[in-house]
Amino acid sequence: MNPYNLAPLISFIFLLAGGFYVIKKGRGQVFNWLFALAIFSLAAMELGNFMALISASNARALFWQRWAFVSAAFLPLTWVVFSLIFARENYRLLLKKWLWYLALILFITLGFLFFLGHKSLLRPAEEQSRFILGPVGRYFLNFFLLNLVLVLLNFENTLRFSFGKQRSRIKWMIRGFSIYLWSYVVLSSLALLFSYIDPRFTALGSLAIISGFFFCAYSVYRYGLVDVDVYIGRQAVYASATITIVGFYLLLVGLVTKIAMFWGLNLKSFLSFLFAFFVFFIFICLVFSGGLKERLRLFIDRAIYKGKYDYRKEWAQISRKISSEFGLEAIVSAIIQVVAEDINLKRVSILLLNKERGYFYVAMAKAINGEVSKNVQFGRDSEFVDWLIRYADPLVIKMLADKPDTLKIFESEKKNFEELKAEVIVPLMAKQHLVGMLCAGEKPSGEPFAGEDLELLKRIAEQTGIAILNAQLSEELMVSKEMESLYKVSSFLIHDLKNFSSVLSMVAHNARENFDKPEFRRDALTTISNTVLRMNNLMQKLSILPKELELKFSLTDLNYTMSQALTKSRVEDASGIRLIKELNVISRVTADSEYIEKVFLNLILNAIEAMPQGGEIKISSRDDEKFVEFSLRDTGCGMSNEFMDKHLFKPFQSTKNKGLGIGLFQCKTIIEAHKGKTDVQSKVGEGTTFILRLPINRDR
């Protein structure tokens, strides 16, 4: 047997194995069944091609060629459906829109099968191993070719609208599909050109299938079966390389064929020339592909202009800078300095995630002229942040505005981009989580960022993300250790409180004998006042710090709890303080009234202390869907955005000179133990509003 004839058999075995693997891994998913169906239809066609090649008679070969024809008839339907759902986020909507066309494909396919045994479809030629196409056969190949182009167009759009890690996960799979789909575009066009089918040529398609199989196998080995979602917008139909390439290819093939026929060229020589031309054409397409051009430009930058960046040196410098610093703020400062100096930028800023408030804020910035606005906030759940995580590469902001499919994202964050004055935003990833953003402003020269600039920023970001995450974890560990130390210290302080109690007992005991002496009374009063004051301060700040809250839940009227806290705070007796109460009728909640009262009392006392010259406190309550909401607003000094982003609700962080910084930390801990939420709105010089939400039906 000619080894060349084994190609269809090998491709059949590969396809069969691949189909069963997809079914096994799919666990009943519709996508995997459709994928397997597309593979099996291709495998059935390869089986027919192989049997036709090894058949001893024309009649037997014709039978298997018709088998291959039947299998090929179902390729358009199966592969069009598969190309519509492959890695598509909006595939259900696409299937609904394309349902009429899929029904039309099925109807036409069944129509062609009606002519299966008729000579108008396929008949044997005088020369052995050739089959002449009849009128119906030529119509079928036109139909087949049209749908192959449609499938390639769908795969092209999926790849074109993907980005970052999405593209990495699907590009090898699409390359594998494209190799054998393109081979059948060539074979179909040749069959149409000469109006006959030679089974020996189908082995070329089998070799393409084998090559494509290895691409797909590599993709599955490295990334697993596809589980990404790419959104395909309407802009997909506006520009397509597939349509251009196929149209240009068919036009040239027709033109070259006419020239060959006119000059009477030998058919074998012509086919050799056509094959060489096809290889050259593919080479031209690769040369003009955007991805290859970018790689070529990077290669030229590195090979010819080596003096711009020495990556090993830059990496060592960053490592040295980061390792010599301790603490998140110092590390961020070092990173900004390295980026600003190495790339020579007008401004650089780093945004970090505020987990408590759910947005990215400007943690630190550096600018040559003026200041970088710190009022920029990107919501953690915003469309831009989600897009940036999936993109996972340095993002040139201008690119967002230039592409129709990302224009909406650009418009939604346009104000933030203008405030930042950044040209490039680089995601800082660590353990597949976005921990921050590195924002690079324009260069003093005004020149755009080159490929090597973006490459350097990407390398810096890879190391920076891990460094920032480690610094954040270190700070959390330090807080944990500080709390542990506080627990130990508190036991000693409580012991001191007992000593204070002993002093008071002694004073009381001595008073029985010396109370009539004015000097004793004066000293005793001073001692008692000082001791009680010190005891109250220590007891209030330290004795209520249990390692774990032990809550006692019961149905509670929180309006009554708030009234109790107001009474204990004596806010109505405070000088210059105006109290406004708007306690509406609210639902009772399951809560620990004692701990909630401590939260209310702490917030009220904080509001009083924030207004030493007097002011207004407004307290309101209301039912908000599944929550009871309390709002406490004061007209005090307020808090800066920087303090709220970096220090609010963190232990040992206080705006008061004598504060321990544990009051608000306790409040938040208590509210979270009730599965509630705490929100804060504040502005320096205008006041602060605390909003507490507690669930009406709490799952314990």
Residues 351-393 pLDDT 10s: 888 887 888 888 888 876 666 667 788 888 888 888 888 888 8
SS3 state at 509? helix
The proportion of the chain whose per-residue pLDDT surpasses 90, expressed as a percent, equals 3
Neighbours of 268 (CB within 10 A): 8
Q: Has residue 660 got a pLDDT over 50?
A: no
Amino acid 372: pLDDT: 64
SS3 state at 417? helix
Q: What is the DSSP string of 448-507?
A: PPPHHHHHHHHHHHHHHHHHHHHHHHHHHHHHHHHHHHHHHHHHHHHHHHHHHHHHHHHH
Is 425 buried (19+), middle (13-18) or exposed (0-12) by CB count in 10 A? buried
Contact call for residues 450 and 486 (beta carbons, < 8 A)? no
Q: Phi and psi (nearest 5°) for 695?
A: -65, 140
CA-based nearest residue to 101, from 80, 129, 79, 132: 80
Q: What is the DSSP string of 171-199?
A: HHHHHHHHHHHHHHHHHHHHHHHHTEE-H
Amino acid 117: pLDDT: 74
Amino acid 197: pLDDT: 75
**Residue indicated by tokens 């795969």:** 155
SS3 state at 379? strand
Q: Has residue 17 got a pLDDT over 80?
A: yes
Amino acid 90: pLDDT: 57
Q: Has residue 232 got a pLDDT over 50?
A: no
Helix (H) or strand (E) holding 579: strand 577-583
Is 433 buried (19+), middle (13-18) or exposed (0-12) by CB count in 10 A? exposed
Q: Which of 1-15, 164-178, 215-229, 674-688 has the highest mean pLDDT?
A: 674-688
Homologous superfamily assigned to 311-475:
GAF domain (3.30.450.40)
SS3 state at 289? coil
Residues in the chain, overall count:
700
**Residue indicated by tokens 């800082």:** 428
Amino acid 276: pLDDT: 46
| 375 token code pair | 């009022």
CA 121 to CA 118: how far, in whole Å? 6
Amino acid 164: pLDDT: 59
Q: Has residue 247 got a pLDDT over 80?
A: no
* Integer angstrom CA distances of residue 103 from 83, 100, 274: 16, 5, 36
* Across 185-189, 276-280, 454-458, 611-615, least confident range: 276-280
Q: Name the residue type at position 61.
A: A
* Across 91-95, 152-156, 346-350, 403-407, least confident range: 91-95
Q: Has residue 543 got a pLDDT over 70?
A: no
- pLDDT interval class at 314 (50, 70, 90): low
Q: Has residue 278 got a pLDDT over 60?
A: no
Mean pLDDT of 518-539: 73
Amino acid 237: pLDDT: 40
Q: Has residue 555 got a pLDDT over 80?
A: yes
First and final C-alpha spacing in the chain: 75
Contact call for residues 106 and 81 (beta carbons, < 8 A)? no
Neighbours of 310 (CB within 10 A): 11
Q: Has residue 348 got a pLDDT over 50?
A: yes
Q: Has residue 249 got a pLDDT over 60?
A: no
Mean pLDDT of 82-101: 73
* Across 67-76, 300-309, 497-506, 512-521, least confident range: 300-309
SS3 state at 41? helix
DSSP 305: -
CA 202 to CA 182: how far, in whole Å? 13
Q: Has residue 539 got a pLDDT over 80?
A: no
Q: Which of 29-33, 236-240, 622-626 has the highest mean pLDDT?
A: 622-626
CA 577 to CA 619: how far, in whole Å? 13
Q: Where are the alpha helices (DSSP H) in 240-370?
A: 241-263, 267-287, 290-304, 311-323, 328-343
CA 259 to CA 489: how far, in whole Å? 97
pTM of this structure: 0.42
Mean pLDDT of 462-487: 74
Mean pLDDT of 311-318: 62
Q: Has residue 258 got a pLDDT over 70?
A: no
Q: Does domain 3-239 have CATH number 1.20.1070?
A: yes
Q: What confidence tens digit (pLDDT) does each residue in 495-514 have? A: 455 556 655 666 776 677 77
Amino acid 309: pLDDT: 55
| 322 token code pair | 């980061």
- pLDDT interval class at 484 (50, 70, 90): low
Q: Has residue 661 got a pLDDT over 70?
A: no
CA 515 to CA 524: how far, in whole Å? 9
Q: Has residue 234 got a pLDDT over 50?
A: no
Q: Is 580 left (phi over 0), alpha (psi -120 to 50) or beta?
A: beta
- pLDDT interval class at 486 (50, 70, 90): low
Bridge partners of 364, per DSSP, are 350
Q: Name the residue type at position 695.
A: P
| 4 token code pair | 């060349």
Mean pLDDT of 190-218: 76
Amino acid 521: pLDDT: 79
Mean pLDDT of 419-433: 84
270-309 burial, b at 16+ Cβ within 10 Å, e below that, comes to: beeebeeebeeeeeebeeeeeeeeeeeeeeebeeeeeeeb
The proportion of the chain whose per-residue pLDDT surpasses 70, expressed as a percent, equals 70
628-638 burial, b at 16+ Cβ within 10 Å, e below that, comes to: bbbbbbbbbbb
Mean pLDDT of 532-557: 67
- pLDDT interval class at 618 (50, 70, 90): very high
* Integer angstrom CA distances of residue 291 from 164, 267, 304, 453, 630: 13, 37, 20, 17, 56
CA-based nearest residue to 678, from 435, 385, 358: 358
Q: Has residue 349 got a pLDDT over 60?
A: yes
Mean pLDDT of 575-599: 87
- pLDDT interval class at 526 (50, 70, 90): confident
Mean pLDDT of 636-659: 68
**Mean pLDDT, all residues of the chain:** 74
- E strands of 528-575, at which residues? 554-556
Q: Has residue 61 got a pLDDT over 70?
A: yes
* Across 105-114, 315-324, 626-635, least confident range: 315-324
| 177 token code pair | 């599909």
- At CA 622, angle to CA 616 and CA 626, rounded to 5? 140
493-518 burial, b at 16+ Cβ within 10 Å, e below that, comes to: eeeebeebeeebeebeeeeeeeeeee
Contact call for residues 327 and 473 (beta carbons, < 8 A)? no
Contact call for residues 519 and 470 (beta carbons, < 8 A)? no
**Residue indicated by tokens 């099996």:** 40
CATH architecture label of 554-695: 2-Layer Sandwich (3.30)
Q: What is the DSSP string of 210-255?
A: HHHHHHHHHHHHHH-S----B---GGGGT--HHHHHHHHHHHHHHH
Q: Has residue 395 got a pLDDT over 80?
A: yes
Amino acid 386: pLDDT: 86
* Integer angstrom CA distances of residue 477 from 48, 350, 480, 685: 67, 23, 5, 34
Neighbours of 657 (CB within 10 A): 5
614-618 own/partner pairs: CB under 8 Å, 24+ apart: 614/575, 614/576, 614/577, 614/578, 615/576, 615/577, 615/578, 615/687, 616/577, 616/578, 616/579, 616/580, 617/571, 617/577, 617/578, 617/579, 617/580, 618/580, 618/582
Higher-confidence residue of 459 and 559: namely 559
Contact call for residues 18 and 39 (beta carbons, < 8 A)? yes
